[in-house]
Amino acid sequence: MSNPEILNRLIKQLKAQGDRNATTNALSYLRKFGLIELDSLKLTEKGKIRNSMTPAQRAEDRRVKDSDNSHGDYSYDKKTNSATLKYPKK
C-alpha cells in the first residue's frame, strides 16, 4: 500500500525545510489533526476529503476557517503554500 498523497506532500515540504524527521513528524501532525488513523496509514473520512483537495484548496480552506471571507476571496501562492486575500478589505 502506498502513502496517501497528502502525507507524501507534507513529508516533501518538511524535508525542504530541513526536517531530519520529516516522515515521523508528518505522520504525527496528520494524526493529531485526525487525517490519518492512529494505528495505520489509512485516511480517516476527514483525511479523504483533505486528500482530494488541491494544495490551493487546502490553503484557502485554512484561511476561510479563521475569517468571514469565502474561498473565492483568496489567491494561492505556490511558493509559500498559502492563500492571501485578493482584495484586502479597507
What ranges do the domains of the chain cover? Answer: 1-52, 54-90
The pLDDT assigned to 16 comes to: 95
Q: Print pLDDT tens along the chain (90 aa).
A: 689 999 999 999 999 999 999 999 999 999 999 999 999 999 999 999 999 999 899 999 989 988 888 888 999 998 888 898 888 666
- pLDDT tens, position by position, 65-75: 888 888 889 99
Cα–Cα distance measured from residue 51 to residue 53, given in angstroms and rounded to the nearest whole number: 5
Question: At what angle are helices 5-16 and 22-32 packed, to 10 degrees?
Answer: 130
The pLDDT assigned to 37 comes to: 96
Cα–Cα distance measured from residue 58 to residue 56, given in angstroms and rounded to the nearest whole number: 5
Cα–Cα distance measured from residue 75 to residue 64, given in angstroms and rounded to the nearest whole number: 12
The pLDDT assigned to 25 comes to: 98
Spatial contact of 61 and 70, defined as CB atoms under 8 Å apart: no
Q: What is the pTM of this model?
A: 0.78
Please name every residue paired with 43 in a beta bridge, in sequence order, or none if there are none. Answer: 36
DSSP code, position 33: T
